[in-house]
Amino acid sequence: MERNREPGRSVAAALVAARASQTHAPRQPLASTRDHNARTPNNPTQQPTANSRHMTSAIELRHISHAFGGGAVSVLEDVTVTAEPGQFVSLVGPSGCGKSTLLRVLAGLLVPSAGDALVDGQDVRGRPGAVAYMPQKDLLFPWRRALANATVGAEIAGQSKHDARERARALFPRFGLAGFERAWPVQLSGGMRQRLALLRTFLVPRDVLLLDEPFGALDAINRREMHRWLQEVWAADQRTVLFVTHDVEEALVLSDAVYVMTARPGRIQARVDVPFPRPRVPSLVTDPAFVALKAQLLTELDRGMPPA
């Protein structure tokens, strides 16, 4: 694959252009988004709840519990997760621990049995539309060509179809989809479908991204390539990301903080801050500090598993 000499540049420019036409107020620069006191709220109409008067986190899940089947099967127990504006936060846990259920709560598609779910200080329980959500399945629209699939979110948000398509077209090469603009989803390989779903999520004009195992269907080599450019793409506009994975290394490479969850019913086993400076180079994974942190996360994961 031919690489740009400044790979971050073109993507950054395209995404910044994409964000400039958003319906939301533009985000604060990175420096101030990290400083809660200096940050101006995105949305002037938000109503701060009693517990969050001193600051507004981008994502705040407080004491979430959930049970399916009328309380018969408990999937989440007292889960509290916070992501500050501009942070990249991962949830790591064994299959079936309720990671995806948490994302569905934040996407407004599932009302939890108990607990609060806030995005930018707004209650999102049963109120979809506050975040850009990428489910685990690629869920492409079979009746839309690749380019039209990429722009669905922007179209639903009321953006001009033409502008959205032009922006998406500019991003196709970076997502490894050049030349496939007019392909139908059935004509794309699994990896391409996944990348197209990711591009679609990025083009949803929201400040918070929820990504549910976006690279689960990719092989290890493709994954590392995707990690590299996801960091670039994310660095371009520093949206808040909540990232679900069961790959500890992936979580560490990408995140500012990692939550480790237990097996079902899912609880938070540990929260680990990831201090490595950005941009993170691929060789980071062999760094002793990285390895030590990985070992710590794996230990926490094991402690969260049911006794054999």
| Binding region for another protein (CB under 8 A) | 104, 107-109, 128-129, 131-133, 135, 137, 139, 141-143, 152-153, 155-157, 179-180, 183-189, 204
Shortest Cβ distance from residue 142 to another protein (Å)?
Answer: 5
Q: Return d(Cα 143, Cα 184) in angstroms, integer.
A: 7
3-state class of 193 per DSSP? helix
Q: Return d(Cα 243, Cα 261) in angstroms, integer.
A: 13
Q: Specify the residue, 69 or 288, whose C-beta has the smaller distance to another protein.
A: 69
Shortest Cβ distance from residue 289 to another protein (Å)?
Answer: 37
Shortest Cβ distance from residue 272 to another protein (Å)?
Answer: 28
DSSP letter assigned to residue 25: P
How big is the chain, counted in residues?
308
Shortest Cβ distance from residue 170 to another protein (Å)?
Answer: 19
Q: Specify the residue, 220 or 308, whose C-beta has the smaller distance to another protein.
A: 220
Q: Specify the residue, 240 or 269, whose C-beta has the smaller distance to another protein.
A: 240
Shortest Cβ distance from residue 273 to another protein (Å)?
Answer: 29
Q: Specify the residue, 127 or 246, whose C-beta has the smaller distance to another protein.
A: 127
Q: Specify the residue, 39 or 99, whose C-beta has the smaller distance to another protein.
A: 99
Q: Which two tokens stand for residue 109?
A: 């598609």
CA nearest to 180, candidates 259, 127, 171:
171
CA nearest to 29, candidates 45, 46, 13, 16:
16
Q: Within 129-204, where are the H helices?
A: 146-150, 152-156, 161-171, 190-202
The amino acid at residue 64 is I
Q: Specify the residue, 63 or 137, whose C-beta has the smaller distance to another protein.
A: 137
Say how many Å lie between the first and final Cα of the chain, rounded. Answer: 46
Shortest Cβ distance from residue 141 to another protein (Å)?
Answer: 7
